[in-house]
Amino acid sequence: MIRYSKTTRILALDNKSIGYAVYVNDAGYLETLYFGKRLAGYTDFDCVRKSGEFASPRYVVQTGKEEGYADGFKAACAPLEVSPHGLWDKRGAPLIVRSKEGSFETDLRFKSVRRLKGVPAIEGLPHAHGDAETADILLEDKNLRVRAHLYLTIFADKDILLKSFCIENFGRKAVRLTRAMSMQLDLPRADYDLVHFHGRWAKERDYCCNALTDGIQEISSNHGRSSAEENPFVYLKEKNATTDSGEVIGFNLIYSGNFKFRTLVTPFRGLHLLYGIDDEDFEWKLSAGEKFFTPQAVIAYSAEGTDAMSQTFHRFIRENLMTYADNCEYKPVLFNSWEGCTFDFDTDLILAYIDDAVKIGTELFVLDDGWFGARNTDAAGLGDWKVNEKKIDLKRVITHCTAHKIKFGIWFEPEMINFDSDLFRAHPEYVLGWGKEELSLARHQFCLDFANPEVVDNIYAQMRAFFKEYPVDYVKWDYNRTVAEHVSAAYPADRQGEIYHRLVLGYYSLLGRLTREFPKIMFEGCASGGGRFDLGTLYYCPQIWCSDESDPAQRIDIQFNTSIGYPLSCIGSHVNDSPVAPYSTKAALALFGTYGYEMNPNKLTQEEIDTLAKTADVYRKYHRDVIANGTLYHLRAPYEGNYMCMQCVSQDKKTSLVLFMNKFKELDVFRFVRLKGLDARKRYRNTLDGQVHTGEYYEKIGLNFSEAWMNEFSHALVLLTEVTK
């Protein structure tokens, strides 16, 4: 519910469990009074707003006098929704507007507030939807003809807040936004740990947990994509918080480009957070009458530890973010050709792959890179989205899939170009940064200038023509390099600060057009593995390839950590032929995601085929209700000891799957794992020892995984099913 009292000037937002309160002070700034568990009333904030001797004085030119604010506003340290810039407050403003005359001062003050039903649409950007209410707070700059709407959204059935801005130039002169972040959040305490997910290619999303330090810390990406180096999902946790106790506040951004999460522990021991598009190399010209929308920042609140926050994000992503119709439904068992044969295939080999892939339960065969243009190595072909008919008879491949009653999917990398391509020869100016003496290469490729709508239209026309000719059910959308030389020949000098953001807008515009026009095709995101695993992509793509690393030694961490912020239903995970662990182990791990394969299927032994087919059966039977739509519990993190354990429980609490995975060989140790989320009174049979126990037993005593001898990466996949008789 959202209420605003003109008498107390307090704006309160709450649902059944969380509350948020903002006070419009005498100066017209929005002071953040409260964020936490729901309160019975929202008037009594005496201790938070103590007026005192630090109240900020000012000299009023008209009266020639020194004046303070009657309500004791302290400009340097009062928790605010929108700090001004260029004044006494030095903590950092979320928005900075540069006037035509060159001043940076940005001083947005309250004008009015209205209540909107639902979530406001964010023009040109993916955004959330659902049962929510929004406070649309109108702010106006004291000096410039610039307005900002601060949208504060609260969900009815989830402990989620959204924050974003729409900045509008209602004057006659153009202004420049030199910072346009999505949110500020000020909290009156700073005794939190900051968790973020650092990484690199094939080692995405490493768990990093550090105490907030005095001064500024930044988690950011300037790679032009959300990146493998840092993920936009971060959280703060109270010092003693665990998976099921303590305060945890999670953050994410519905965006796929450069971002910055900046924490400042102030000298006053308060916390000042900014989150949004990275302001490095950002500048946006806002001409008269124009608006700029920032991406939505998503904030999840939990008073009960990290798993409650994680489950809130999972439900939010599934129910309020993804737009693909079947996102929570069953996702077919996928076979991808890449690791099996990379570029070295012909029609016969692919047909032979399909014949053997179906034996391990494949329901969707994906032909990865190498089918188009002159793409026989990674040095050529990107940009030429025409089937290389000398190499592959795609129609025959599709017919073969249909004969096997399985679906067919294909790989694209729409935002990239090789210099050895017809598109480059015809349009070198389509390359981002074109006009320079030298351009950086990665995998022999450049980024296309997706800031230029003509380039986006060209790729759209090529892809559309392909989809019209070839009936594909699935597309893997890759993005295999970092952006460099972010200069666009299509824009004048004074608009080059817009390019990073415009590249992302180009990505969304193409993906948006294609997903609307071909709603039956399921698009999976990918970027050198998991380099663009973010909420912007998930809006269009119900799953994202998690990492090119499928070897369980690293994969355990990657998958576990990814699943803290993102639901298992969107985590693309495949069994490959890495020699570190047996297929049964790799398959059990892949089951906790959207299950698939990448290997040479012609080389599998009968025993391996049986193992994989059996796991595919488990997936078919339980994926939708237990993994995709169930509740996930992180029972033991792989970095907390020598084993990892995760559990999923179906919504009706009748079925549960537990994955236990050992790391290094260890002899003679107890391994009791207490389960969660079961009905205490129901009785369940478990497949570990075949016994029947109550939910209470499993929660209090647990499952006993102790074995005298436990090898590297040995695992147990345990199914618990309710016993009614």
Shortest spacing between CB 552 and ligand GLA, in angstroms:
18
The alpha-carbon radius of gyration of the chain (Å, integer) is: 27
What does the chain come to in residues? 725
Q: Which is nearer to ligand GLA, 599 or 646 (CB)?
A: 599
368 is a catalytic site residue: no
Q: Which is nearer to ligand GLA, 378 or 610 (CB)?
A: 378
CB 70 within 8 A of CB 50: no
89-94 own/partner pairs: CB under 8 Å, 24+ apart = 91/186, 91/264, 91/266, 91/272, 92/262, 92/264, 92/272, 92/274, 93/179, 93/184, 94/165, 94/179, 94/180, 94/181, 94/182, 94/183, 94/184, 94/274, 94/276
Shortest spacing between CB 45 and ligand GLA, in angstroms:
51
Shortest spacing between CB 375 and ligand GLA, in angstroms:
9
**Listed residue (195, 299, 187, 204) closest to 252, CA to CA:** 299
* Interaction site with ligand GLA (CB under 6 A): 338, 368-369, 411, 478, 480, 526, 528-529, 545, 548
Name the closest residue to ligand GLA (Cβ): 369
Hey, what are 454's tokens?
């003509």
Shortest spacing between CB 597 and ligand GLA, in angstroms:
13
E-strand stretches of 436-593 = 445-447, 474-477, 522-525, 543-545, 571-576
For residue 597, the number of C-alpha atoms closer than 13 Å in the C-beta half-sphere is 32
- Active-site hit among 14, 89, 279, 478: 478
Q: Which is nearer to ligand GLA, 338 or 345 (CB)?
A: 338
Shortest spacing between CB 478 and ligand GLA, in angstroms:
5
> What whole-number distance in Å separates Cα of residue 594 and Cα of residue 543?
8
Q: Which is nearer to ligand GLA, 261 or 365 (CB)?
A: 365
Q: Give the SS3 label for residue 103.
A: coil
Alpha carbon 629 to chain centroid distance?
18
Shortest spacing between CB 405 and ligand GLA, in angstroms:
25
- Active-site hit among 159, 369, 548, 577: 548
> What whole-number distance in Å separates Cα of residue 470 and Cα of residue 402?
13
Q: Which is nearer to ligand GLA, 417 or 618 (CB)?
A: 417
CB 350 within 8 A of CB 337: yes
> What whole-number distance in Å separates Cα of residue 196 and Cα of residue 208?
5
Q: Which residue has the tokens 């060159």?
A: 102
478 is a catalytic site residue: yes
Helices (H), 592-691: 606-622
Q: Which helix (H) or strand (E) holds 537?
A: helix 535-540
Alpha carbon 262 to chain centroid distance?
17
Shortest spacing between CB 414 and ligand GLA, in angstroms:
13
Q: Which is nearer to ligand GLA, 95 or 511 (CB)?
A: 511
Q: Which is nearer to ligand GLA, 366 or 591 (CB)?
A: 366
Q: Which is nearer to ligand GLA, 9 or 223 (CB)?
A: 223
Shortest spacing between CB 369 and ligand GLA, in angstroms:
4
- Residues labelled as active-site residues: 478, 548
